[in-house]
Amino acid sequence: MIWRVLDTGINDAALNMAIDEAILLAHSAGDVPPTLRFYGWKPAAVSLGYFQKAKSEIDLEQCATLGIDVVRRLTGGRAVLHETELTYSIVVKEDDPLIPQTISASYRYFSNGILAGLEKMGIKAQMSMPRKADGKVREKDQHSSAACFDAPSHYEITVEGRKLVGSAQVRKDGVILQHGSILLQFSAEKLAAVLKVSSSQRRQFMIGMLSSGVTSIDQIRGCHTTWEETRDAVMAEFGPKIGVDTQRGCLTQKEVETSNMLIESKYSQSQWNLLR
C-alpha cells in the first residue's frame, strides 16, 4: 500500500491535535491509507502527555502571560514546548506487515526514517540506548522533570548524546499514532519558564540540565535552517528508508469535518486539556 504524505502547514495547537486524531479515526475505518504528516505550531504551545497532571506540572498563568497555548495529546509522555520545530506524525495499523509488533521495535523502525532525513541534511544522529549500571538496555527511564526533552528515551534521536527529536506513541482502535518534534531551535529558558518548579534554584538547575542535554538543528549546523528544508529532507528519505512508497496527498473532506468537530468538542475545551 502507498503511504499518503501530508503537509498541513503551521496551525494552532487544537487544530494540530484534532487533525492527528481525525487521521487515526479515518485510517481505522479504512477510509485513508497509512499517513505521514508534517506540521508546525503558531502560536507556541505546550502539549501535555495524556496522563500528565496539568495544574501541578505546568505553570498555566505563565503560559497565558507568554501567549502559549496548552493542549493535551492522545499520546503519553511528558510536556513538550512546541515552537520552532518540524513536527511529524505517523498513522498506520498495528497489523501492517511492515511494522514491528512491540512499541520499542516500532520506535526503532520509524526512527530510521527520521535519521535518514537528518543524514541528508548532513546531521550524524543516533538512536539513544539508555542503559542501567549493569550495562543492560532499559525499557523505561526515570526522569527528573515534567519535560519530555530532559532525557532521551529508548530509540529516540540524539546527536553526541544530546536529544534532538522527542516522540510519543499511542495505539488505539487497532492503529498506531506516533508523533514527534524535530527541534529547529531550542530555548531551555522558555521551556523551564512554563514548568512548575519548587524554587528559583530548581529552575536554574533545570535550565542547565536542558541546555546540556538538548540540541537543535540550527545549533548542530551552525546556521539557520528552514522548516521547509527540514520537511523536504525527511519527506524524501523516510519512505525509502523504511521500505514504503509514498505519495503527496491532502486531507479528505471527512477528515476536515472530523477535525473541526474535535476542536469544538475536545481540543479547545478545558475539560480535556486540563483533564488531570
Provide the grid cell at 146.
Answer: 515534567
Residues with a catalytic annotation lie at 148
Peptide bond into 130 cis (omega under 30): no
Answer whether 68's CB lies under 8 Å from 194's CB. Answer: yes
The CATH number covering residue 99 comes to 3.30.930.10
Report how far residue 91's alpha carbon sits from residue 159's, in angstroms, rounded to the nearest whole number. Answer: 26
Split into its structural domains, the chain has a count of 1
pTM across the whole model:
0.91
Torsion of CA 254, 256, 260, 261, to 10 degrees: 20
Range of the domain at 188: 3-273
Residue type, 215: T
Provide the grid cell at 15.
Answer: 487544530
What sign for the dihedral angle of Cα 152, 25, 53, 189? Answer: positive
- Would you write out the chain's pLDDT as a tens digit for each of its 276 residues? 899 999 999 999 999 999 999 999 999 999 999 999 999 999 999 999 999 999 999 999 999 999 999 999 999 998 999 999 999 999 999 999 999 999 989 999 999 999 999 999 999 999 987 555 444 444 444 445 555 555 555 678 999 999 999 999 999 999 999 999 999 999 999 999 999 988 999 999 999 999 999 999 999 999 999 999 999 999 999 999 999 999 999 999 999 999 999 999 999 999 999 998
